């Protein structure tokens, strides 16, 4: 299977946008794991956070609706749960998501 290369971009948001474009152009790419840069300088948790950020922005994860758990994110991207938690923590620090104990993680409504 052909896996397109994703050019190095200056910011995680630019990279996330490029990843979304690649997945649309190449339907045979069945998972974002196919386009994560495992050998690049950007840590995996930051790459995953950029993808989740793009999903929040495009409405894939609507405001105030539960997002996938850290365990589900880890499984989707083929990383450890700790890496998924680090990505979610980064988005929490940015104020994009919030957690409710016993309920899950939710994107914040945009102002």
- The pTM (predicted TM-score) of the whole model is 0.70
For 14-44, how does the pLDDT look when each residue is reduced to its tens digit (9 = 90+)? Answer: 665 666 665 565 554 445 545 788 888 999 9
- Sequence-ordered strand ranges (E) for 4-109: 97-100, 104-107
What is the rounded average pLDDT for all residues in the chain?
82
- The pLDDT value recorded for residue 1 is 44
Give yes or no for residue 8 having a pLDDT over 80: no
Q: Please give the DSSP secondary-structure letter assigned to residue 104.
A: E
Domains in the chain, ordered, with CATH? 12-107 (1.10.10.10)
CA distances from 13 to 17, 55, 91 (A): 6, 11, 12
Average pLDDT over residues 47-53: 94
Residue 28 tokens, joined: 């045979």
Give yes or no for residue 64 having a pLDDT over 50: yes
């Amino acid at each position: 299977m052909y896996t397109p290369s994703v050019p190095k971009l200056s910011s995680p948001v630019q990279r996330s946008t490029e990843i979304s474009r690649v997945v649309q152009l190449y339907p045979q790419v069945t998972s974002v794991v196919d386009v994560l840069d495992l050998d690049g300088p950007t840590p995996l948790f930051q790459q995953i956070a950029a993808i989740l950020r793009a999903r929040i922005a495009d409405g894939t994860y609507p405001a105030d609706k539960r997002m996938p758990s850290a365990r589900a994110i880890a499984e989707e991207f083929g990383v450890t749960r700790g890496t998924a938690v680090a990505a979610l923590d980064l988005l929490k620090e940015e104020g994009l998501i919030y957690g409710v104990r016993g309920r899950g993680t939710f994107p914040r409504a945009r102002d």
